[in-house]
Structure 1
Amino acid sequence: MSNLINILISEQLLAYWVLVLVVLIEKFVYLPEKYHPLTLLKLMAQGMANKVVTSEPRQIRQQQIAGILAPLTLLLPVCTVIAVFILLSQFPLFFESIMLLTALKFQYVIKQTQKVNQALRSEKKILARQMLSPIVLRETEKLSPMGIVKANIESVLLRFCYQYCSVIFWYLIAGGVGALVYRVLYELSHSWNVKLIRFRYFGGPTRRLIKLLQLVPSCLTCCSLILACNLKLGATALTQVKSYKSLSMFILNISASAMGISLGGPAYYNNKKIRMPSCGLPKQVTLADNQRVLIIVNSATWVTMIAALLFYFLTYSTAQIH
């Protein structure tokens, strides 16, 4: 027993307890959107895009080159500030925790989902659309109540994989710096989303890089989701061909199958209707599913934290052997 306690309080596991503390702070201490550092980053990304991606027609190659240089331009000052703080600090773990807390921003999505639920329960469809709009890229003006719930669930699942668990994954691999750099790239990719016509080529390089960084953590997150929901139904979806059409389809089909509901279908982007493939099971979503997905995501968070602890135990054991 004493050996286990010594391991838990060892220096190698200190980074894990920082992760646990930051996860708890992020869950229970809500920082308003307008005061969050990532909001400033998004404003900078939008300002840069407005200057670079003009209404004048440009060659595809020019837009792609601009799309490579733009994230480097925004990342350079961020990395410089991080490097200065780490080099001058006597408590680097403190700054690691600050970087992780900055990167691990997800409660805004939870808060908006709760507002959507409240509006739909009060039969305020227009208000529900307005509450949904900040966390989805699609147009919400034409969504029915069922469409609102479906879009909300898809957003929560995808953002949980991309915004939350992927940040934790890169923290485990590369510390607070890795987590923050990943999140900055994700926010840039989201601001310059290739689903919008004007960013089709400009946002392409960042999109390809972020998809590569999301591949492994998103697959691992799906394992957490099906363990937190329904292992049998989720595992069945792993054998379906449509799960492997794209990373987002992989996440949605496995998660929807585990929840026993149907996701996907038509969505409007730039006044253009895009028919997304259906995924999951035939059962249509209900308002209760919008609350249930929050419970599942919360449970999956702690499954992920247990997996992170096992990762640190494995790292500790390997270090002891060598």
Structure 2
Amino acid sequence: MSNLINILISEQLLTYWILIFVVLIEKFIYLPEKYHPLTLLKLMAYGMANKVVPSKPRQKRQQQIAGVLAPLILLVPVCTIIAVFTLLPQFPLFFESMMLLTALKFQYVIKQTKKVTQALRSEKKILARQMLAPLVLRETEKLSPMGMVKANIESVLLRFCYQYCSVIFWYLIAGGVGALIYRVLYELSHSWNVKQNRFKYFGVPTRKLMHILQLAPSFLACCSLILACNLRLGSAALIQRKSYKNLSMFVLNISASTMGISLGGPAFYNNQKVRMPNCGAQKKVTLADSQRVLIIINSATWIVLMTSFMLCALAYSTT
């Protein structure tokens, strides 16, 4: 019995128990968006963008250099604060938990998705568009009810991979510090999205870095979605050529194929119609799929956590 207790409280598994604790806290205790520390970071990112990317166009090379320096400037105060906390040995587990909790912000996406679904169910299209707007970059004013459902599902799936599973991945590798730094970079990349004409060149350096950091966790997240939904359909999508066109197509094609629905298609950005490739099956999305995707994500989350436990146990056994 004492050996079992020693194993469960070992350093490797203690990392896992912190993860479970923080996941449950984040799931059941909701911090309003305006009070979350990442909201301040996004405001800082927008403020910096207004300074270094003015409305007057600048040379491509100049914007790219600014895009390299800008995240470094914003990371310096964040890393300084992190360093101060990590140098306090009295409460290491507390600060580790707080950093992970800050980075693992995802329930806002779930709550907004439920609000969009409820508004569409009540046939309140204007309200649904307002609820959807914070989750997507595309213009929501021109979206039909089916278009809103599709955009909502795409946003939830992408954010589950990039915003949730990737944070867990980097936490297991680099602890709370790694998870928080990843999330800061993610928010900067999201604020300076290259799909916006203004950040077409400025946001490229951060976007390329995020692409590298998201490759492995996105693959693992998609595997969890396959196991949570449909192993046969998901496995078939893994060998399709279009799944490897880019990272977002990889996530959407595998997820849509697994769910047996069609995603992708045209979307409006900056008053311009962009034709995104169709992916998944032929079946059109329905309002019921908005609720279904949340159930699948919830199941996939527990698969991710169980896999994390096995990895932490394996790390213990090899030491």
Shorter-chain TM-score category? Answer: over 0.9
Matches within 5 A, 1:126-137: 126-137=126-137
2:136 and 2:38 map into 1 onto residues whose CA distance is 17
2:141 and 2:118 map into 1 onto residues whose CA distance is 18
SS at match of 2:273: strand
Partner letter of residue 293 of structure 1? V
- Alignment-derived partner of residue 209 in structure 1: 209
Matches within 5 A, 1:172-321: 172-319=172-319
1:17-50 Cα shifts (integer Å, max 9, x gaps): 0000000000000000000000000000000001
SS at match of 1:88: coil
| Cα shift at 1:7 | 1.5
2:11 and 2:250 map into 1 onto residues whose CA distance is 37
| Cα shift at 1:2 | 5.9
Partner letter of residue 76 of structure 2? L
SS at match of 2:263: strand
- Alignment-derived partner of residue 17 in structure 2: 17
- Alignment-derived partner of residue 90 in structure 2: 90
| Cα shift at 1:138 | 0.4
Matches within 5 A, 1:31-70: 31-70=31-70
Partner letter of residue 266 of structure 2? P
- Alignment-derived partner of residue 99 in structure 1: 99
| Cα shift at 1:95 | 0.5
| Cα shift at 1:3 | 4.1
SS at match of 1:268: strand
1:181-237 Cα shifts (integer Å, max 9, x gaps): 000000000000000001000001000001100000000100000101111100000
- Alignment-derived partner of residue 29 in structure 2: 29
Give aligned-pair identity as a percent: 80
Extract unaligned runs of 5+ from structure 2.
none
1:229-285 Cα shifts (integer Å, max 9, x gaps): 111100000111000000000000000011010000000000000000000000000
1:134-190 Cα shifts (integer Å, max 9, x gaps): 000000001111100000000000000000000000000000000000000000000
- Alignment-derived partner of residue 160 in structure 2: 160
Partner letter of residue 123 of structure 1? E
2:10 and 2:207 map into 1 onto residues whose CA distance is 39
Partner letter of residue 303 of structure 1? I
Extract unaligned runs of 5+ from structure 1.
none
1:36 and 1:260 map into 2 onto residues whose CA distance is 36
Partner letter of residue 299 of structure 2? S
State the Cα RMSD in Å: 0.9
Partner letter of residue 146 of structure 2? M
- Alignment-derived partner of residue 151 in structure 1: 151
Partner letter of residue 204 of structure 1? V
| Cα shift at 1:89 | 3.4
1:69-99 Cα shifts (integer Å, max 9, x gaps): 0000000000011101111231212101100
| Cα shift at 1:4 | 3.9
SS at match of 1:266: strand
Partner letter of residue 24 of structure 2? L
SS at match of 2:193: coil
SS at match of 2:311: helix
Q: How many equivalent residue pairs? A: 319
1:12 and 1:152 map into 2 onto residues whose CA distance is 37
1:112 and 1:281 map into 2 onto residues whose CA distance is 26
1:15 and 1:78 map into 2 onto residues whose CA distance is 22
SS at match of 1:151: helix
SS at match of 2:87: helix
SS at match of 2:267: strand
Partner letter of residue 27 of structure 1? K
